[in-house]
Amino acid sequence: MTMIRVLVVDDEDEVRAALGRRLEREGYAVVTAGSEAEGLSALKTVEHPYDIVITDMNMGDPNSGMHILEGAVSRDVFTEVIVLTAYGNVANAVECMRRGAYDYIEKNMPGVDVFELLVMKLEQACQRRRQSVQTVRRLEEFHKRHGE
């Protein structure tokens, strides 16, 4: 089985490095980007789309996470995107989900190990991606067999 490929986009060096290390320990192939521009470039130039993208919501521009989300989903509709934010609000969360994010997680939740939560959400997102891709493959095979 191939490694799940994850792009982590966050302008905070410590957060980006910690996420990268943790996810690599969990067995993921991780690429990091330190800005919206780097993240969009990584999405456009990689040969095969990332399976999962984890992005900060606000990297100088309050809409930078939304731009990463749109870039990821426009490249591959099956890429699951998890949005992280230090400034969570319901309107942002709803808008991210409406635009196709898998989940929206606040970085500073009291009493919650955000790394553990993120790993759990990542595993769930991987499962959803696998199921979606399998469904499309089955549908394509059905159409081939039935001449549609």
Span 19-46, pLDDT tens digits: 999 999 999 999 999 999 999 999 999 9
How do residues 90-133 score in pLDDT, each as one tens digit? 788 888 889 989 999 988 877 888 888 898 999 998 888 888 88
Q: Which residues pair with 83 in a beta bridge?
A: 55, 104
Looking at the domain that runs over 5-145, which CATH code has it been given? 3.40.50.2300
CA–CA–CA angle 27, 2, 114 (5° rounding) = 30
Q: What is the pLDDT of residue 138?
A: 87
Give burial (CB, 10 Å; 0-12/13-18/19+) of 42.
buried
What does pTM read for this prediction?
0.87
Sheet of strand 80-85, all strands in order from the earlier edge strand to the far edge: 29-33, 5-9, 52-56, 80-85, 103-106
Q: Are 52 and 69 in contact (CB under 8 A)?
A: no
Tokens of 45: 């130039």
Q: Are 100 and 73 in contact (CB under 8 A)?
A: yes
pLDDT at 148 over 70: no
